[in-house]
Amino acid sequence: MDAWIVEHLQDLRNAPVDEAFRLLSNLALLQGAAVVVLAIIVARRASIWPAVAGVVAVAVTSTITTSIKSLVGRARPPLALSDVHALVPLPHDASFPSGHASSAFAAAVVLGAYAPRLRPILVTVATLVAISRVWLGVHYPSDVVAGAALGTTIALLTLGVIRRVRETRGART
């Protein structure tokens, strides 16, 4: 099913959508935007915890994603499927799981926890970043689903640990 989806997306490509997804894919810089948003939240709340949560969640997600990529070693679609052509430079690491999806979801979940009004927008952007990786031909759908699940899980665990630490220290919530 993964290969079939990637191969058939090739037929739907068109210049405006291709360019939009290239831009979204570059929102892996969402991590940079997340740091800016977290800094604003920190300034408003006079608390360092949102920034700590964001940095820890994204760093742990990135580390675990890289480790899983090394263990699984799944070839990217253009290397495994002759009919698939990437629309962006092909990353040199393995395909599974998607680092873009895992980082985007880790950042979106943490930011959404501290800025609930932004949550729908953040999750939508993270979802579009994940979809862009499949559209651009550098990931399979299962790569981005796994990445999204991984980033979400690590973000939720990070938030839980930070909440516990704050509770045991008697910090203000």
Residue in the structure block whose two tokens are 């740091």:
35
Q: 37-51, 59-73, 86-100: which range is least confident on average? A: 37-51
CA–CA separation, 82 vs 171, rounded Å?
Answer: 56
Planar angle of CA 7, 121, 55, nearest 5 degrees:
90
CB 125 within 8 Å of CB 108: yes
Question: How far, in Å, CA of 79 to CA of 155, rounded?
Answer: 31
Q: Which amino acid is at 59?
A: A
What per-residue string of b and e applies to 141-171 under the rule 16 or more CB within 10 Å gives b?
bbbbbbbbebbbbbbeebbeebeeeeeeeee
- pLDDT tens digit string along 90-131? 989 999 999 999 999 998 899 899 888 989 988 998 999 999
pTM of the model: 0.86
Do residues 38 and 49 touch, judged by C-beta distance below 8 A?
no
35 has pLDDT over 60 = no
